Structure 1
């Protein structure tokens, strides 16, 4: 009987606790389960998005091989609209920009590169900005090109950015600034990089090392 009485007391205590906190516990449980379901659903959504984007990117690669410029732009636009969070969209933007550039459609090339520069991850953003600055250089939009190259870049792109700045400064006939930029590029680019030779040639062509101004 003592055991039964103790059990009844525990049951009564549990009922009293549940009457006071039961609704709160139920709502907390619902929130936790809903959060887990959302997390699991988001993971599945991302995997589906990546798989679909991969299939669409294969279409773009086939269009590149076939040199179907219209399809390249169409697929890239679809990719950017539907799968903008994936790396495939950024790669598609760069591929579409190159196709447009090769076709002398600089407006479309710039638009694609600007999209990647705005939406891409650090590495793709850096590539897009450097290529965009190159088009702006060709269009003699020098200040806009330098503005595109302003700000922070991943360390591995620092030398290429300085080199591109040097090209713009040469076009502006700002040779001291160009020498400084080319020297910075040589300092930042690995000694084994074959591109160093071209930078050195450009530096030598404008008189070599920059002249330090007297204090």
Structure 2
């Protein structure tokens, strides 16, 4: 497969040219954007066990990180402020490093079984306030830091993407065994995975054991 090249004459390079390709925005789609969290947004966040966190560094290199916990793990501190606990991970700190240099973030809240989502955009700060962190403890373990987001805008997003993808439809769920395990894929991409099946199985079991020990 050769390298794909964009033909310059088909590159959309400004917003005027972009909007010329689409009908006008529906009036309700414009009005639905709020500057603070209303009761419906608060209820949605309180039911959500999963979100995607979008960040960028100063050079504009983007990153999206999944964040998951028990439903309602994101604390609503006031109508304009959220707090996201940072649970143990791989310590790459991609999102956190980006926030330190560029505080603009985008959040997408997801509830299992719901086709609609909630979007929140704002500015984030990394904090290690002991009182706040202790309030987000699980199994006696407080997070090391929290991501506090000052909300600039929030709005509900329609169901089209989830309907198209059939995300929650069991008939469209794929068998995880159709692809190699996570450990094998990462080893294939880096140092090379062992050919011995027993050795590979032990590595997979080691990852599962690490999950059990280090979720919090």
- Scaled to the shorter chain, the TM-score interval is under 0.3
Larger helix percent: 1
TM-score, normalization: structure 2? 0.26
Structure with max Cα Rg: 1
Larger strand percent: 2
TM-score, normalization: structure 1? 0.26
